[in-house]
């Protein structure tokens, strides 16, 4: 097992990465003060719920469970209220520990429940998808969706620990594995050019689920993200760089009704558009945009955006949280591994979308 | 105008108390970075919305408004979602300022909206009831209700400023003035015996809305509360003392369906029960419990709880947030002005409720 740390003073926490770690009760014990509530979904529950329940129970804790539907549609008020109903019916107090067992949707939903249940209780992330292991489980962003935009209602609430068991990736559908690779690629493209080189060399191993390659990709992604989060927890500055590809990605997800495109797939295409935008802003060499597009394609991810009217793109992006004072800011690249934020003209954005669509 | 400060490092903020202060644009200007959204209710809007809107607009800010229904029933998911819909439809970004204009319900609701909209935006409290001026607008507790308990879903989110205009108390119904006095009495009884003496002497002036007396009561309450909040923002220790009377009060509100009893009325009766409990725990002199009961009665507040089965009391109190590990803890008095927290036997609690009912 490898462990690294997200450095946030009194809210610092460890990320444990390894094979079979979800059975290790000693990773949970330090965080249990009362009852534990496992929040998971109907796909993950048959696979891993019993093992996590057994690990928690072995510490003597009372354990209750909430199983929510699978998929992005579960990330809304209705499901959140079901979680609250269950916590209250089982009389969990302020000393409860919420355990998020699942992918990004479960982590965001359970994390937001933890952030707001009785004004905040502790929680632990046990991410079971690659996307959650490399991205959403780390950094304390929690949220639910609103019909007018993804993640519009949420909170910053750091977990007490992240326990990433790479064995759980064995049961992940290929399409979701690839969606997770989109965020891995993002970490390289936005923050670390040598990691892009490594990904170009090792993409076939990752797609073949070579365990050693996966552990390296998870660990390197977490290291890169943890450093950013430690420097800017609440996204006042550099943390925004982690949103590379996301303004366009969110627009694609919203336009298609949250579901047909997986989040990682939308981000993958968003990264291609953002690379084209960076070229048009005269910040990135065309050859680097080509490398990004090729790497996304190599991961089996979509490079072309859906066909949307220009107004619709701009309307959807104006709802994005990075919209400030009416002008949309974008994360662009001043070179591979060097993201920056800037406001850009709508015309350049239109050109970038057209270029990605070709 | 008098100003005091809640000392919370980077989240410190001023409380301004005076007559006519809600027109003073310079109190808002430092906190405006983009658009402002005033959240108020249908009773307060006709009285003060135009003046606050004018003050905000005079700074050049775009101002939007959300008017919610009056009363405790507005403090739920449905109204919260209406606020979010409005903020998103008007495309307010992360730089938005939410302005809560109203009583405790508006402050808690708008504050929780601010805590969770786009993972947190700034907000200002303009409390227009005595209860909100002396209690709920200060300290950053925000929440909505759940059918199984009051304030069960919420967040700690400090305002950037509190602007308490005592002129707004001129339009407050007598019953609500008295309900606010319950929390004023609580500050004395739980934290400051000399303030109890002052209240015994000045209760008639307060009920007659003597402005000087009201300003003193608001200011002293805010000073006492600000010191507690500065010492223990998240209620890990002494902040719980501010819940004196509230465990019983919440049970009364929940049993009667949130509405027939005003929050302050329920707390008033809760304080009488908690004083009887303190006597039975051999912490408080019977004469001091009698003084508390007399002061509550002098304020025109109810001293007798509604008739509920014993099991129902215990069931309702077990949902209270102060329930930890299955055992209900109570805030009791070791003398006037000296609250402490302790777990007590159910039999003593039953005796205290019976004593208050006599």
The stretch A114-134 carries a mean pLDDT of 98
Report the residue from B95, B116, B149 with minimal CB separation from A325. B95
Whether the pLDDT of residue A14 is over 60: the answer is: yes
* Alpha carbon distance A253, A175 (integer Å): 16
CB pairs under 8 A between A and B: 101
| Beta-carbon contacts of residue B158 (< 8 Å; ≥ 6 apart) | B6, B8, B11, B13, B139, B140, B233
Phi and psi for A94 in degrees, rounded to 5?
Answer: -65, -15
pLDDT cut 90: percent of chain A above it: 90
| Beta-carbon contacts of residue A59 (< 8 Å; ≥ 6 apart) | A25, A28, A29, A32
List, for residues A187-210, the tens digit of each pLDDT value: 999 999 999 999 999 999 999 999
Strand partners, A126: A101
pLDDT at position A225 is 97
| Fold held by B2-170 | Rossmann fold (3.40.50)
Whether the pLDDT of residue A325 is over 80: the answer is: no
List, for residues B196-213, the tens digit of each pLDDT value: 999 999 999 999 999 999
The stretch A303-330 carries a mean pLDDT of 79
Three-state secondary-structure class, residue B338: coil
B114 to chain A: closest CA residue: A153
Report CB contact under 8 Å: B119, A154: yes
Please check whether residue B233 is in contact with residue B8, taking contact to mean a CB–CB distance below 8 angstroms. yes
Report CB contact under 8 Å: B91, A117: no
* Alpha carbon distance A162, A45 (integer Å): 18
**Predicted confidence band of residue A319 (pLDDT cuts 50, 70, 90):** low
pLDDT at position B329 is 87
| Beta-carbon contacts of residue A324 (< 8 Å; ≥ 6 apart) | B34, B93, B94, B95
By C-alpha distance, which of A302, A263, A293 is closest to A196? A293
Q: Which residues of A are catalytic?
A: 119, 141, 183, 225, 235, 239, 243, 246, 250, 263
Q: Where are the alpha helices (DSSP H) in A127-240?
A: 130-131, 174-191, 193-207, 211-231
* Model ipTM value: 0.89
Report CB contact under 8 Å: A155, B326: no
Residues of chain B with pLDDT under 70: 319-327
Phi and psi for B109 in degrees, rounded to 5?
Answer: -70, -50
Which residues on B lie below 8 Å from A94 (Cβ)?
A: 321, 324
| Beta-carbon contacts of residue A175 (< 8 Å; ≥ 6 apart) | A262
Other CB atoms within 10 A of residue A183 CB: 27
Report the residue from B34, B234, B319 with minimal CB separation from A324. B34
Phi/psi zone of residue B139: left (φ > 0), alpha (ψ -120 to 50 degrees), beta? left
Strand partners, A324: A327
A90 to chain B: closest CA residue: B319
Q: Do domains A2-171 and A174-357 have the same CATH topology?
A: no
Strand partners, B324: B327
Report CB contact under 8 Å: B84, A120: no
Which residues on B lie below 8 Å from A149 (Cβ)?
A: 88
Strand partners, A143: A154
B94 to chain A: closest CA residue: A321
B38 to B29, B62, B97, B259: CA distances (angstroms):
15, 11, 8, 25
Report CB contact under 8 Å: A89, B120: no
Report the residue from B94, B120, B141 with minimal CB separation from A156. B120
Which residues on B lie below 8 Å from A116 (Cβ)?
A: 112, 116, 153-155
| Optimal mutation site among B81, B153, B242, interface A, most CBs of chain A within 10 A | B153
A320 to chain B: closest CA residue: B93
Report CB contact under 8 Å: B325, A117: no
Other CB atoms within 10 A of residue A347 CB: 10
Three-state secondary-structure class, residue A89: helix
List, for residues A47-80, the tens digit of each pLDDT value: 999 999 999 999 999 999 999 999 888 999 999 9
The per-type count for chain A, helices as H runs and strands as E runs, is 12, 12
Whether the pLDDT of residue A126 is over 60: the answer is: yes
* Alpha carbon distance B88, A72 (integer Å): 20
R_g (Cα) of chain B, nearest Å: 20
| Fold held by B174-357 | Dehydroquinate synthase-like, alpha domain (1.20.1090)
pLDDT at position A327 is 61
pLDDT at position B317 is 87
Query: In chain B, where are the structural domains located?
Result: 2-170, 174-357
Interface of A with B (CB under 8 A): 34, 77, 81, 84-85, 88-89, 91, 93-95, 112, 115-120, 141-143, 146, 148-149, 151-156, 234, 318-319, 321, 323-326
B202 to A339, B144, B209, B212, B224: CA distances (angstroms):
64, 34, 11, 11, 18
Packing angle, helices A286-298 and A174-191, rounded to 10: 160
| Optimal mutation site among B82, B118, B145, B237, interface A, most CBs of chain A within 10 A | B118
Please check whether residue A136 is in contact with residue A107, taking contact to mean a CB–CB distance below 8 angstroms. yes
Please check whether residue A199 is in contact with residue A346, taking contact to mean a CB–CB distance below 8 angstroms. no
* Alpha carbon distance A38, A99 (integer Å): 5
Packing angle, helices B104-116 and B77-89, rounded to 10: 60
pLDDT cut 70: percent of chain A above it: 97
* Alpha carbon distance B338, B333 (integer Å): 6
Whether the pLDDT of residue A269 is over 90: the answer is: yes
Q: Which CATH class is domain A2-171?
A: alpha beta
Whether the pLDDT of residue A318 is over 80: the answer is: no
Report CB contact under 8 Å: A141, B119: yes
Please, what is the average pLDDT of chain A? 94
Report CB contact under 8 Å: B84, A146: yes
């Amino acid at each position: 097992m490898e462990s690294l740390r997200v450095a946030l003073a009194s809210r610092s926490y460890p990320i444990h990465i390894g094979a079979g770690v979800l059975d290790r009760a000693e990773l949970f014990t330090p965080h249990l003060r009362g009852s534990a509530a496992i929040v998971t979904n109907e796909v993950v529950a048959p696979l891993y719920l019993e093992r996590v329940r057994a690990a928690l129970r072995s510490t003597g804790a009372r354990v209750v469970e909430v199983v929510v539907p699978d998929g992005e549609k579960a990330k809304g008020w209705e499901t959140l209220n079901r979680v609250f109903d269950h916590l209250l019916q089982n009389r969990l107090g302020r000393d409860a520990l919420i355990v998020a067992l699942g992918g990004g949707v479960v982590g965001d939903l359970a994390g937001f429940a933890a952030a707001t249940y009785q004004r905040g209780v502790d929680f632990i992330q046990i991410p079971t998808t690659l996307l959650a292991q490399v991205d959403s489980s780390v950094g304390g962003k929690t949220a639910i969706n609103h019909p007018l935009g993804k993640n519009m209602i949420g909170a910053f609430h750091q977990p007490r620990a992240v326990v990433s068991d790479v064995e759980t990736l064995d049961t992940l559908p290929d399409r979701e594995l690839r969606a997770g690779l989109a965020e891995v690629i993002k970490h390289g493209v936005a923050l670390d050019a040598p990691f892009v080189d490594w990904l170009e060399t090792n993409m076939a191993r990752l797609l073949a689920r070579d365990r050693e390659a996966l552990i390296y990709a998870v660990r390197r992604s977490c290291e890169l993200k943890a450093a950013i989060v430690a420097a800017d927890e609440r996204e006042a500055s550099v943390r925004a760089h982690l949103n590379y590809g996301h303004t366009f990605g969110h627009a694609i997800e919203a336009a298609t009704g949250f579901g047909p495109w997986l989040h990682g797939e939308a981000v993958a295409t968003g990264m291609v558009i953002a690379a084209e935008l960076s070229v048009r802003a005269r910040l990135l060499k065309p050859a680097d945009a080509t490398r990004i597009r090729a790497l996304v394609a190599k991961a089996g991810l979509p490079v072309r955006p859906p066909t949307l009217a220009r107004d619709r793109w701009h309307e959807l992006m104006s709802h994005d949280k990075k919209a400030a004072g009416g002008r949309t800011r974008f994360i662009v690249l001043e070179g591979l591994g060097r993201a920056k934020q800037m406001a850009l003209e709508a015309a350049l954005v239109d050109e970038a979308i057209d270029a990605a669509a070709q």
